[in-house]
Amino acid sequence: MILEGNIEETIMDLPDKSVHCIVTSPPYFRQRNYHFEDQIGMESSPEEYIKRLATLSLQFYRVLRDDGCMWWVHGDNYAGGSQIVPPGEKRITEPFGLPKKNMLFFPERMMMALQDVGWIVRQRGIWHKPNVFPDSAKDRLTIDYEPFFLLSKQPKYYFDPDAIAVPAKFTKGLMPPIGGKKHQKIGGERYKGNRVMARPTRRLRSVVSIPVAQYKEMHSAGFPEDLARIFILSGSSHMGVCPACAAPYMRIVEQSHVVTRSGRKRDQPKEHRKDHPRGHRHSSAVVIRRTKGWAPMCHCDAGEPMPATIFDPFLGRGTTALVAKGHGRSWIGGEGSPEYIDMVKKNLAGVEIVEEDTALRPQVQQLSFT
């Protein structure tokens, strides 16, 4: 469902506590003109912009379930940097009173404003962009990332790390669980000789490397589908929610520990291996997690679960809606630009539902500095 028009008004139609997860990237301050009245981002000052978004976030807070979470992508810019000046307004030469070339810390200021109105800012993540163009500044490094944030209403909220787990680094030479017998079958995982035939995974880390999307439409502010996928799969239940009270179904996970076989540490230089006090042998624990099933978090016993609801108040080209639909979630989006609303409708027509929930694409990579 698309809420068409200024989100500050259209959001009033949404009932309290009716969405499970919010995924969004707001318009940035004076960076793009979306060509409609009431658009956010064209305020007279950056302080006014932050206050407007923080006030609007109280409506996001109202519509989000108490066990829900919100993912928020927000980039920064510089004092004296490029700026779209709305008609009748002046160029702001010293935003926040800061002279030219200063970082403005918009993401941090925004998060602190959200904390002030009651949100818990749970995490900062970094979206590393491996395919950025070198930027024009010659006196600093090229910027190749954008921060994103995870927020919640309460300390305890729904989060499914297993839905976005990635393959563990050490998958070779695994031995059966500590104290276990070789060739045994534990937790449904099979062993062949000393090798575990299961795929150990690890929790996704907070720096993810995802290429900037080259969407065919002219809406260049769209975030990549793989980023939205991380947010949607972890922030909402793949099994769905109770049809009576909308409480999410939780994943039931069985966990077994295995140790890697002693052997050479592959990423150490040869000389180092020789000098190592215990020779060149090592072992480390790896955890294998397997989904056993799903269970409702309520006692309603109301029958088949229904899809969780994802909400993006700033839909743009519809990335959040496309990914939500593809993973069998319901979605609600707000958008003020008639042009983008048409684009979302067109884009949604071709989306097919992906069956599996652990569907992170290979191009989502963890950064490795070793």
User: Rule CB under 6 A: which residues touch ligand SAM?
Assistant: 6-8, 25, 27, 34, 38-40, 219, 221-223, 314, 316-317, 319, 334-337, 340
Distance of CA 46 to the CA centre of its chain: 25
Least Å distance, CB 332 to ligand SAM, is 13
What is the spatial distance between Cα 308 and Cα 243, in angstroms, rounded to a whole number? 10
Which position's Cβ is nearest ligand SAM?
Answer: 316
C-alpha dihedral (257, 258, 262, 265), degrees to nearest 10 = -80
* Complex with ligand SAM: residue 176 or 334, whichever CB lies closer: 334
26: Cβ contacts below 8 Å, ≥ 6 apart: 40, 41, 53, 72, 74, 313, 314
* Complex with ligand SAM: residue 25 or 236, whichever CB lies closer: 25
Least Å distance, CB 261 to ligand SAM, is 45
Amino acid at 110: M
3-state secondary structure of 3: strand
Least Å distance, CB 5 to ligand SAM, is 7
* Complex with ligand SAM: residue 25 or 256, whichever CB lies closer: 25
Least Å distance, CB 314 to ligand SAM, is 3
CA angle in degrees (0–180, nearest 5) for 210-215-220: 85
Cβ–Cβ under 8 Å, residues 327 and 235? no
Q: What is the DSSP string of 34-48?
A: --STT-TT--SSHHH
Least Å distance, CB 145 to ligand SAM, is 16
What is the spatial distance between Cα 364 and Cα 175, in angstroms, rounded to a whole number? 28
Cβ–Cβ under 8 Å, residues 348 and 327? no
* Complex with ligand SAM: residue 3 or 360, whichever CB lies closer: 3
Give the torsion sign (CA, 77, 79, 81, 85): positive
Least Å distance, CB 193 to ligand SAM, is 48
Least Å distance, CB 27 to ligand SAM, is 4
* Complex with ligand SAM: residue 176 or 318, whichever CB lies closer: 318
- Rg, Å, the chain Cα set: 23
Least Å distance, CB 189 to ligand SAM, is 38
Look at the block and give the residue holding tokens 């539902």: 353
* Complex with ligand SAM: residue 25 or 57, whichever CB lies closer: 25
Q: What is the DSSP string of 108-166?
A: HHHHHHHHHTT-EEEEEEEEE-TTPPPPS-SSSPPP-EEEEEEEESSSS----GGGG-E
Least Å distance, CB 24 to ligand SAM, is 7
* Complex with ligand SAM: residue 94 or 342, whichever CB lies closer: 342
* Complex with ligand SAM: residue 38 or 342, whichever CB lies closer: 38
Helix (H) or strand (E) holding 56: helix 46-63
3-state secondary structure of 81: coil
* Complex with ligand SAM: residue 221 or 259, whichever CB lies closer: 221
Look at the block and give the residue holding tokens 């695994």: 174
